[in-house]
């Protein structure tokens, strides 16, 4: 089973202020709270690992590999009633694995610190990098891609690899608004509907899963692989990183089935055949 890669009721982003000790958030407070000191220590460890990479792609993949066996936990961003920037490196889902690995790699490139890393997470997670309520968070992974492209962090290679148009109206959250309590915030639904129009208007391409093996040689280690969904109104249902083992591309991802970050036992092409809710892949490459 794969969790839909939306920012479902699993997201509320808590700004993290490192004070060196474990802090408890006060739900009634608007102050910048909630960080376990373990996260800052994990960050330092991961930044050192990223330093071994020659470029952003290598740094990102090195960090992602270091997260192998990290517990899969959904909903880690929904721990505060108001919208904050949440940092949690102790438990990940498929989206936060990708997001944190890239943010740490960019921080390593800049020789930055924990505040630099938080800055990159915020830039990736929110439209325009601005936290202004639940609706300001990016809730569709294609929206995350648009944001990352505008920041110059990656490019979409799917069309150049022979991809075909992925024409779909993205509106899953609007169609299931009753599942999202935080949409009741003022203007949250309106903001999300505007973002749905934005991602739907973008020209997307995908590689149907029956064609993946034929283009596998074009995929590089460290490429981001997005699994397109067959579900009505939904763009992406899962994502991870490409790794090459025994000459074949496998998927490094945070697995809800295995409850931890793993590398798929099967090569990507065979793995995808068993995913009934996925139609194919989008391939992104990090810029160096």
Q: How far apart are CA 161 and CA 122, in angstroms?
A: 31
**Amino acid 33: pLDDT:** 36
pLDDT at 20 over 70: no
Q: What CATH number should be reported for the domain holding residue 278?
A: 1.10.3670.10
Average pLDDT for 89-104: 98
**Cα–Cα distance, 63 to 47 (Å, whole number):** 8
Q: What is the pLDDT of residues 218-265, one digit of tens each?
A: 999 999 999 999 999 999 999 999 999 999 999 999 999 999 999 999
Number of domains in the chain: 1
6 lies in some domain: no
Select the more confidently predicted residue: 27 or 287: 287
- Is the pLDDT confidence value at 19 over 60? no
In a domain, 118, yes or no: yes
Instruction: Determine, yes or no, domain membership for 2.
Output: no
Q: Average per-residue pLDDT in the chain?
A: 89
For residue 128, tell me if it sits in a domain: yes
Strand partners, 233: none
Residue 4 inside a domain? The answer is no
Q: Is the pLDDT confidence value at 268 over 70?
A: yes
pLDDT(24) > 80: no
Domain boundaries, position 28 = 11-286
pTM: 0.90
pLDDT digits (tens, 9 = 90+) for 122-155: 999 999 999 999 999 999 999 999 999 999 999 9
Helices assigned H by DSSP within the chain: 37-50, 56-66, 94-109, 114-125, 141-150, 172-175, 188-201, 212-215, 268-273
**Two structure tokens written together for 40:** 């800052």
d(CA 192, CA 284): 24
pLDDT of residue 75: 86
**Is residue 54 situated within a structural domain?**
yes
């Amino acid at each position: 089973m794969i969790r839909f890669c939306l920012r479902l009721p699993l997201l509320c982003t808590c700004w993290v202020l490192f004070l060196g000790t474990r802090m408890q958030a006060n739900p009634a407070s608007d102050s910048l709270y909630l960080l376990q000191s373990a996260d800052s220590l994990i960050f330092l460890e991961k930044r050192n690992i990223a330093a071994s990479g020659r470029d952003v792609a290598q740094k990102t993949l090195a960090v992602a590999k270091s997260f192998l066996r990290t517990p899969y936990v959904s909903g880690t961003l929904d721990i505060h009633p108001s919208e904050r920037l949440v940092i949690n490196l102790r438990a990940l889902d498929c989206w936060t694995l990708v997001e944190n690995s890239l943010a740490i790699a960019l921080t390593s490139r800049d020789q930055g610190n924990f505040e630099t890393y938080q800055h990159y997470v915020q830039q990736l997670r929110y439209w325009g990098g601005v936290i202004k309520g639940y609706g300001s968070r990016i809730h569709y992974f294609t929206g995350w891609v648009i944001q990352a492209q505008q920041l110059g962090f990656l490019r979409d290679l799917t069309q150049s690899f022979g991809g075909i148009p992925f024409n779909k109206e993205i509106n899953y959250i609007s169609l299931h608004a009753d599942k999202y309590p935080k949409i009741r915030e003022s203007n949250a639904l309106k903001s999300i509907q505007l973002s749905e129009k934005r991602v739907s208007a973008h020209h997307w391409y995908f590689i149907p899963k029956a064609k993946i093996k034929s283009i596998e040689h074009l995929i590089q280690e460290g490429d981001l692989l997005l699994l397109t969904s067959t579900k009505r109104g939904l763009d992406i249902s899962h994502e991870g990183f490409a790794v090459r083992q025994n000459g074949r591309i496998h998927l490094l991802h945070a697995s809800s089935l295995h409850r931890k970050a793993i590398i798929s036992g099967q090569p990507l092409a065979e793995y995808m055949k068993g995913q009934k809710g996925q139609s194919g892949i989008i391939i992104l490459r990090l810029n160096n």
